Amino acid sequence: MADKGGLEDPGLRALICDQHGVVSAMQAVSRGLSRETMRRRVLRGLWQRIAPGVYALQSGPPSRLQWLVAAQLYAGEDSVLTGRSALRVHGLEVAGRLTGGDELHALVPHRTRRQNLERLRITRTTRVPKPTRIGVLRVAPLARSVLDCCLTAVEDGEAAAVDGIVTAAFADGRVNLTELEHELAQAPRRHSGRLRAELAKSKAHARAVATRAFLEELCRSGPQGAQHDVSVFLNHAQVARVAALWPARAVVIAVDAAEREIRALTLLGFAVVHVTAQRLEQDLAGMLRQLGRVLADRPEATLPAGVSLFLRGETARYEPSDGQRVLTASSPARTGVSSVLPLGGTGHT
Query: What integer pLDDT is reported at residue 232 of this predicted model?
Result: 92
Number of Cβ within 10 Å of residue 243's Cβ equals 25
Task: Check whether 42 has a pLDDT greater than 90.
Answer: yes
Confidence of residue 158 (pLDDT cuts 50, 70, 90): confident
pLDDT exceeding 90 applies to what percent of the chain?
A: 41
Query: What integer pLDDT is reported at residue 98 of this predicted model?
Result: 57
Q: Mean pLDDT over residues 50-66, rounded?
A: 94
Enumerate the domain spans of the chain: 2-62, 67-191, 224-341
**What tens digit of pLDDT does each residue of 253-280 get?**
999 888 999 999 999 989 999 988 888 8
Q: Mean pLDDT over residues 78-92, rounded?
A: 94
As a whole number of angstroms, the longest Cα–Cα distance in the chain is: 103
8 A C-beta contact, residue 162 and residue 153: yes
pTM: 0.64
Q: Mean pLDDT over residues 71-99, rounded?
A: 87
Query: What integer pLDDT is reported at residue 101 of this predicted model?
Result: 56
Query: What integer pLDDT is reported at residue 161 of this predicted model?
Result: 84
Helix (H, G, I), strand (E, B) or coil at 298: coil
Higher pLDDT, 287 or 106: 106
Helix (H, G, I), strand (E, B) or coil at 275: strand
**What tens digit of pLDDT does each residue of 171-186 get?**
888 988 888 888 988 8
Q: Mean pLDDT over residues 275-302, rounded?
A: 87
Mean pLDDT (the chain, rounded)? 82
Lowest mean pLDDT among 44-48, 70-74, 147-151, 172-176: 172-176
Task: Check whether 44 has a pLDDT greater than 90.
Answer: yes
Query: What integer pLDDT is reported at residue 163 of this predicted model?
Result: 83
Q: Cα–Cα distances in Å, from 17 out to 23, 37, 81, 128, 138?
A: 9, 19, 21, 28, 17
| Pairing verdict, β 337-341 and 120-125 | unpaired
Task: Check whether 247 has a pLDDT greater than 80.
Answer: yes
Helix (H) or strand (E) run with residue 13 in it:
helix 10-18
Q: Cα–Cα distances in Å, from 27 out to 35, 60, 81, 325?
A: 11, 22, 20, 82
Q: Mean pLDDT over residues 121-127, rounded?
A: 94
